[in-house]
Chain A
Amino acid sequence: MKKWLAALMMITMLIVAGCGNGGDSGSTAGASNNNSTIQKVIKAKKLVVGTNPGYYPFEMVDTKGKFIGYDIDVAQAIADNLGVKLEVKQYGFDGLVPALQTGEIDMIFAGMSITGERALAVSFANPYYKTGQSIMLQANDNTTKSYEDLDKKGTKIATQIATTGSLLAKGIYKNAEIKDFEDFPAAALALQSGQVDAVIYDEPAIQVYNLQQKGKVKKMDGVISADNLGLAVQKNDFESLQWLNSFLHSYIDSPAELESRAKWFEKSDWLTTVKE
């Protein structure tokens, strides 16, 4: 009965939303405190976060099927602070924003870079990690010294669809062909099987992959862009944003966070527990 009602409401809202002509109906969702995600999470005693595993070392699936990684630690700390249970749901990277918009998940924990375009669709808390895009090459590639060297006809560059790396590559390369894959492991596999000449992706993931593959690929030194990663909540959910910012101020550089950072970024023993 309840499901019926929810479905009916969804359809009605869709129709109303479709008929409206940009008036004021968009502002009501975030303004009222009772509707904030944080309140909803506390009431439901459950925090549901969406992620896209494969982004080392932020989110992975271990051999037992459990979600692990730096982001998962942050999510668990948030759930602990709120006194609720944590549920992690898996999506394609391009499916995360719609999942958040429709309320399937409460927050996005996917090492998502903050961009102006994305901020039109969702709202980001303050950055919690600073990184950048870097380039991964085939191990025997001795000719590519800078990112400009790749901009040649016939050169293929793999990225993950909808990521900042993909958008960046399409912006800086005029002659090379950009190929969008579903996730980073697929793009990396395309490099290793000789289908593409380079992969552009976030630096930490490339570093970890390099470590894992032990010399079968190589990373070009440095980064070619700056990315600030942020947690996303529904657009204009100010109470949740405020709470997340306060939480991040207390969490970052805390002993728990330092331990988590050391575990995922400095050590590599967790690699053996991750699905290949």
Chain B
Amino acid sequence: MNNQLDWSVIPNNMDVFIQGAILTLEISAISLLLSIPLGIIFGIGRISRNPIIRFISGAYVEIMRGVPLLVLLMWIYFGLGQFFSLGSYWGSIIGLATFSGAFLAEIVRSGIQAVPKGQMEAARSAGMSNFQAMRFIILPQAFRRILPPMASQFIILIKDSSLISVIAGVDLTLKAKNLAATSFRYIEIWTFVALVYFIMTFSLSLIIRAIEKRMLKSEQ
């Protein structure tokens, strides 16, 4: 430890950090938006009455949950990449979205199952179709319950996105790695990078908390 801390590397390379942070936000946001429909479809699929749909959904969830994200990213990029030209950018997004989607599916499933059975029966006996009951009665109630675990999942997604550098995905982490490799100011750079990730994830939790509050109000 004969190296003194020198924080000047941070302001001197602020443009690099900003570029990196924007890329991380962009990749996380697109993956997040793609993972939501995946989570809803497979979450409902998990409790479908059709055994084939149930099996496919279960297999998706279990496989994705069981495989490390690192391996999944490499499969997609080096494996699938031989047949479809995905590139690092879309490879990263597909990897993150399908990975996160599996966890969301479990959250959605538990949310739906937590809505009392009577709700579905009442909706059906009021003349609603299965789809209508799901859309207007069950999902809105489930949504409130799943918001907190979903927020955690989104935060994990943002942090997981730092793994995409294994397939040369350019984000805050890769930019920081490159900067550290030429400036050797590891402690300063990684401390600052951690702070940037924290700002991103903490802002997200504040936003979700605000949504929760609004929903609570609209309920009263």
Contact B184 A190 (CB under 8 A): no
Total chain A interface residues with beta-carbon distance under 8 A: 40
A-contact 0/1 string along B157-191, CB 8 Å cutoff: 00000000111100000100110111110110000
Tell whether A255 is near chain B: CB-to-CB under 8 Å: no
Q: Are B184 and A193 in contact (CB under 8 A)?
A: no
Q: How far is the CA of A251 from the CA of B80 in the complex (A)?
A: 48
- Taking the closest CB of chain B, its distance from the CB of A206, in whole angstroms, is 18
Using known A-B contacts A120-B184, A190-B168, A195-B87, determine if residue A94 contacts B2 with beta carbons closer than 8 Å: no
Q: Determine if B78 is an interface residue (Cβ-Cβ < 8 Å).
A: yes
The yes or no answer to A48 lying at the interface (CB within 8 A) is no
Within the complex, what minimum Cβ distance (angstroms) separates B121 from chain A? 53
1/0 per residue, CB under 8 A from B, across A21-65: the answer is 010011011100000000000000000000000000000000000
> Nearest CB to that of A9 among chain B residues?
B1
Cβ-neighbour of B81 out of A22, A166, A194 (below 8 A): A194
Per-residue contact bits, chain A 155-183, to B (CB 8 Å; 1 contact, 0 not): 00010011000110000000000011110
Report Cα–Cα, A234/B2, bound state, in Å.
9
How many residue pairs, one in A and one in B, have C-beta atoms under 8 Å apart? Answer: 89
0/1 string, A10-24, CB within 8 A of B gives 1: 100110011010100
Task: Tell me the complex Cα distance, A120–B184, Å.
Answer: 9
Binds B, one of A66-74, A98-106, A217-225: A98-106
Q: A14 CA to B181 CA in the complex, in Å?
A: 21
Which chain A residues border B180 with CB–CB below 8 Å? 94, 162
B174's partner among A103, A161, A190 (CB-CB below 8 A) is: A161
A258 at the binding interface (Cβ < 8 Å)? no
Instruction: Judge whether A152 is part of the interface by a CB distance below 8 angstroms.
Output: no
On whether the beta carbons of B168 and A158 are closer than 8 Å, the reply is: yes
Give the CA-CA distance A208 to B34 in the complex, in Å. 42
B3 within 8 Å of A (CB atoms) = yes
Residue among A29, A103, A121 with the most chain B CB within 10 A?
A121
Other-chain contact of A94, B167, B168, B181, B187 (Cβ < 8 Å):
B181
Inter-chain contact A161/B5, CB cutoff 8 Å: no
- Answer yes or no: B77 CB below 8 A from chain A CBs: yes
In the complex, what's the smallest C-beta–C-beta distance from A17 to chain B, in angstroms? 5
- For B4, list chain A residues within 8 Å (CB): 17-18, 20, 22, 25-26
Min C-beta distance of B192 to chain A, whole Å: 13
Tell me the dominant secondary structure on chain B's binding face: helix
A136 CB–B CB distance under 8 Å: no
Residues in A with CB closer than 8 Å to B166 are 181-182, 186
Residues of A within 8 A of B182 (CB): 117, 162, 167
A235 is an interface residue with CB less than 8 A from chain B: yes
The answer to whether the Cβ of B82 comes within 8 Å of any Cβ in the partner chain is yes
B31 at interface (Cβ–Cβ under 8 A)?
no
A97 interfacial by beta-carbon distance below 8 Å: yes
- Within 8 Å CB of A186, what residues of B? 166
A29 touches B2 (CB 8 A): yes
Contact B3 A101 (CB under 8 A): yes
Given the complex of chains A and B, what is the CA–CA distance between A179 and B5 in angstroms?
30
Contact yes or no, A180 B184, CB < 8 A: no
CB distance from B45 to the nearest CB of A (A): 32
- In the complex, what residues of A have CB within 8 A of residue B100's CB? none
From 125 to 177 in chain A, residues with beta carbon under 8 angstroms from any chain B beta carbon are: 158, 161-162, 166-167
User: For residue A117, which residue of chain B has the nearest CB?
Assistant: B182
Task: Give chain B residues whose Cβ lies under 8 Å from the Cβ of A275.
Answer: none
Roughly how many angstroms separate A26 CA and B172 CA in the complex, as a whole number?
A: 31
B168 touches A180 (CB 8 A): yes
Task: Please tell me if B24 contacts chain A, counting CB pairs below 8 Å.
Answer: no
Q: Is the CB of B82 within 8 A of A26?
A: no
Residues of A within 8 A of B183 (CB): 117
Do A235 and B2 contact each other (CB < 8 Å), given the known contacts A117-B182, A179-B88? yes
5 nearest A-B residue pairs (beta carbon):
A162-B181, A121-B184, A29-B2, A179-B168, A18-B5
A-B contact pairs, 13 of them (CB 8 A): A20-B4, A29-B2, A30-B2, A94-B181, A98-B184, A162-B178, A162-B181, A166-B178, A167-B182, A179-B168, A180-B178, A181-B167, A193-B79
A14-B1, A180-B174, A190-B78 given; 5 more Cβ-contact pairs under 8 Å: A18-B4, A26-B3, A98-B186, A193-B78, A235-B2
